[in-house]
Amino acid sequence: MITLQDKILSKVTKPTRYTGGELNAVLKDPKSVDVRFGFCFADTYEIAMSHLGLKILYHSLNNRSDTWCERVFAPWTDMEDEMRAHGMRLFALESGDEVTHFDMLGFTLQYELCYSNIVNMLNLAGIPPLASERGEEYPIICGGGPCAYNAEPVADFFDFLMMGEGEDLINEVTDEYARWKKNGKKDKRDYLEAIAKIDGVYVPSFYDVEYNADGTVKSVVPNNPNAKPRIKKRIMRDFDGAYTPETIIVPFGEVVHDRVMLEIMRGCLRGCRFCQAGYIYRPQRERSPQRLLGIADSLLSCSGYDEISLSSLSSSDYGGLRELTDGLLDMTEQKKIGLSLPSLRIDNFSLELMEKVQKVRKTGITFAPEAGTQRLRDVINKNITEEDILSSTKLLFEGGWTSVKLYFMIGLPTETNEDVEGIAELAQKVLGVYFGIPKEERAKNINITVSTSSFVPKPFTAFQWAAQNSREELIEKQDLLKSSIKSKRIRYNWHDNKTSYLEGVFARGDRRLSRVILRAVEKGCKFDGWGEHFRFDLWMETFEELGIDPDFYNLRERSYEEVLPWDHIDIGVTKLFLMKENEKAKAAETTPHCREKCSGCGAAVWKTGVCTEK
Amino acid sequence: MSSYILKYSRDERVKYISHLDFVRLFHRAVRRADIPFVFSQGFNPHPIMTVAQPLSVGVTSDCEYMKVGFDGNFDEAELCKGLNGAMPPGYEIKAAKKINGKEIDLTKINRAEYIVEAEYEGSIDDIKEFLANKELVVMKKTKSGEKESDIRPYIYDLKIIDRQEGTVMLDMTIAVGSIYNLKPETVLKAMEKYLPEFRPGFFAAHRKSMTIDGKEIL
């Protein structure tokens, strides 16, 4: 039988993005469940399937007998065109069913540039994007993930948002949903009022935002007695004992992270001042090596993957690293499984480890000094010195590595031309280290890559008040750096500043941006994170048309007195601490990491992890 | 080390998986089944396996073959059972046979039978008239680009087995392999050229058997 699906899939690239049916995907009888949940990721299959949070929440929800959680991803544009041409709606991968009348759709907000895709996906599902226009016949649309901490630019699209770690929370809101549905799903408001009482739940429509004459936020005040004045994020206090799936879906086509990912810890104790993840996931918590080895064994044997990778923000800070890697090496050597170790500081221990892991191939090593001078590294509290970098690269070159990538940001607060030139000087010094090693002791063909991205100030960081560099400033700095690099052995890659500009607008945006997103999608904006689809001109045209000045959001420095659009969200880390960090940054003073000395950031209220280490 | 010939099928659920993706998928299935592969020597060791006449994307099959090297001796039925427990739904290992040397040479496969369901406009009556042509010259993709080729000698059998409103079901046995490789779509193209009333559209194909000179392999 020739089906419409066949005709469509035969025309699109990578059809297995849309067919589902992968090993370990969960199939259920829709009649046997109360809640049909669509876990939505507003990007392609390959990106979505590399996301650890999806894997955790998907299996956690599917462990419930009353719920079937399926995956819903953004179709690539060729597929979207076919779907629209044939009147086919957005569908879930497991069942192939339209999601238009699912019970709940949960979007993970991983980065700002996926916002247009959220609206586009809802359009494609035949669901009104504005929460206020959706009745009980449509799914409850919820969201979570890092951008949910300031989801104001997309707040109008969501019935509710979840702050923080979702393992427990998602089950609590699903319980309430099942109860509401049993009682006849009368008024969406009843459901939202019931969950507004749960810690970590933010119902945007229960808050009124008022603005000052200058356009800044005057106040964010609850308009519903069930809504809390401040919404506190959720975390898994017992991270070692927290749920983690022992099974994993194995994609047919290659995805970005096509391997087992072992989440060894959550949070980071370093306190880099630009890093949102470093603040929002506090406090740093670890999982025991014994438990991790058990999880690794289950995931490898149920998937057949031949590669496993540690996942964390800074693996070197993981207390049981030696015990864990010894155990993993026993497992992987025997089964010819590759072990990859990202986010490691380079020292003798890690080099020895890399020698063991990469017996033959010496792939490239990436360092992230982030800034070109010690002064600026102190400003951002990146506690890595030039000496660290030079001694590490010496160890690497002596060990036979010849490909080094150095990653920096430009546009950091207080940055001067000297800091930008410092990037080129540092790369030159690394090259000098290589040539300082006698010819017979080093491998041939050194190649150093310098990459810069443009700094985007994010909410809940020490730099949340800072002005982002304009595109002109960034281009000048890129040009300065280009002309400062003298050696042909140093390559320079830079990141497009137009996407950083838009990212900056949404990162610290407020509710008035929802209509910009709606309008931009009408004009055809989607897949903004993909160079070939990003239409900066259409975005700027939309801002202009609606009389909204994007520079107000990204290029403006805020005062400490200003009410920030995300001030009603409580991540544990206090605003006062972030202010102090910002002041220390201006004075180029560093702050020790959590194990050295507690700096009283506020995350200790959770009484767990590094905050309770003796 | 022992070599095995495996016969397997793939159904609608997995028909869009490309050859390369299938190779990776099979490697993983073998790991899951805990069967030790034989790895190639060299810089980047990989498990040894060869798929005979890889299927086009979108085509289902009852009769795919591959040769693999496993480290050890396995009961053929047990091997099928173990692998079937580890393959994603949609694939089935139907038979396994341990071979010595070249007693079965998959590179000699030269015939395949397909069931092809094709939508069409116009009409199609007698396929004999089509087959009566001395030659059927169409453009055909080769390694060195598109070339005209007479495909008539490589159509061993072709009949209409069903006809519905606007679709026709064909059963064709044609050449595959390294000497001459013919695909169902090329046969449809020839039919379009030589049967003036027949304008085929979208089609779906299913490979029913692959043989060496008409002789079943497993």
**Between A and B, how many residue pairs show a Cβ–Cβ distance under 8 A?**
73
- Secondary structure (3-state) at A610: helix
Could you tell me the pLDDT band of residue A361, with boundaries at 50, 70 and 90? low
Could you tell me the pLDDT band of residue A583, with boundaries at 50, 70 and 90? very high
Smallest CA–CA distance from A13 into chain B, residue: B16
pLDDT beyond 80 at A79: yes
Chain-wide mean pLDDT for chain B? 94
- State the DSSP H helix or E strand holding residue A613, giving kind and residue range, or none if neither: none
Instruction: Tell me the mean pLDDT in the region A255-259.
Output: 93
- Secondary structure (3-state) at B208: strand
Could you tell me the pLDDT band of residue A74, with boundaries at 50, 70 and 90? very high
- State the DSSP H helix or E strand holding residue A419, giving kind and residue range, or none if neither: helix A417-435
Q: What is the pLDDT of residue A450?
A: 97
Instruction: Tell me the mean pLDDT in the region A541-554.
Output: 98
DSSP label at A437? S
Residue A255 lies in a domain: no
Q: Which of B19, B22, B31, B71 to mutate to test the interface with A (most CBs of A within 10 A)?
A: B31
Residue A521 lies in a domain: no
Is any Cβ of chain B less than 8 angstroms from the Cβ of A97?
no
Which tokens go with B139?
Answer: 């453009």
Smallest CA–CA distance from B58 into chain A, residue: A10
- Secondary structure (3-state) at B207: strand
Measure A397 CA to nearest chain B CA, in Å.
Answer: 21
pLDDT beyond 70 at A358: no
- CB burial class (10 A; 0-12, 13-18, 19+) of residue A443? middle
Smallest CA–CA distance from B202 into chain A, residue: A7
Contact A6 B21 (CB under 8 A): no
pLDDT beyond 50 at A421: yes
Chain-wide mean pLDDT for chain A? 95
Nearest to A9 among B16, B27, B32 (CB): B16
Sorted by where each starts, the structural domains of chain B and their CATH numbers stand as 2-107 (3.30.70.580), 110-216 (3.30.2350.10)
Is any Cβ of chain A less than 8 angstroms from the Cβ of B29?
yes
Nearest partner of A151 among A197, A118, A179, judged by Cα = A118
Nearest to B88 among A15, A22, A254 (CB): A22
Q: How far apart are CA A107 and CA B203, in angstroms?
A: 37
Question: Above pLDDT 70, what percent of chain A?
Answer: 99
Domain count, chain A: 1
Handedness of CA A428, A431, A433, A437 (dihedral sign): negative
Residue A310 lies in a domain: no
Residue A217 lies in a domain: yes
Could you tell me the pLDDT band of residue A360, with boundaries at 50, 70 and 90? very low
Which tokens go with B154?
Answer: 């490589």
Contact A254 B24 (CB under 8 A): yes
* DSSP assignment string, A266-290: ES-SS--TT-HHHHHTPSPEE--HH
Contact B27 A306 (CB under 8 A): yes
pLDDT beyond 60 at A359: no
Q: What is the pLDDT of residue A362?
A: 63
Q: What is the pLDDT of residue A492?
A: 97
Which residues sit opposite B49 in a β-bridge? B68
Q: Quote the ipTM score.
A: 0.92
The Cα-based distances of B122 to B138, B172, B189, B192 in angstroms read 20, 21, 15, 10
pLDDT beyond 60 at A379: yes
Instruction: Tell me the mean pLDDT in the region A312-335.
Output: 92
Instruction: Tell me the mean pLDDT in the region A295-318.
Output: 94
pLDDT beyond 50 at B72: yes
Residue A89 lies in a domain: yes
Q: What is the pLDDT of residue A352?
A: 80
Which tokens go with A614?
Answer: 């003796």
* DSSP assignment string, A176-201: HHHHHHHTT---HHHHHHHHHTSTTE
| Strand A140-144 to A201-202 pairing | unpaired
- State the DSSP H helix or E strand holding residue A300, giving kind and residue range, or none if neither: helix A289-303
- Secondary structure (3-state) at B1: coil
Contact A250 B31 (CB under 8 A): no
Residue A96 lies in a domain: yes
Residue A337 lies in a domain: no
- State the DSSP H helix or E strand holding residue B98, giving kind and residue range, or none if neither: strand B91-99
- Cβ-Cβ contacts under 8 Å, A1 against chain B: 117, 204
Please give the angle made by the CA atoms of A340, A267 and A201, to the nearest 5 degrees. Answer: 125
Q: How far apart are CA A22 and CA B13, in angstroms?
A: 9
Q: What is the pLDDT of residue A356?
A: 76
pLDDT beyond 50 at A19: yes
Q: What is the pLDDT of residue A400?
A: 85
Nearest partner of A20 among A97, A100, A124, A85, judged by Cα = A97
Q: How many CA atoms lie within 13 A of B19 on its CB side?
A: 11
Is any Cβ of chain B less than 8 angstroms from the Cβ of A7?
yes
Measure A250 CA to nearest chain B CA, in Å.
Answer: 9
Q: What is the pLDDT of residue A363?
A: 67
Which tokens go with A246?
Answer: 């022992």
Q: Which of B12, B15, B16 to mutate to test the interface with A (most CBs of A within 10 A)?
A: B16
Q: What is the CA radius of gyration of chain A?
A: 25
Q: Decide if A507 contacts A150 (C-beta within 8 A).
A: yes
Residue A613 lies in a domain: no
The residue range of the domain holding A140 is 4-164+166-232
Instruction: Tell me the mean pLDDT in the region A432-459.
Output: 94
Instruction: Tell me the mean pLDDT in the region A191-208.
Output: 98
Q: What is the pLDDT of residue A229?
A: 97
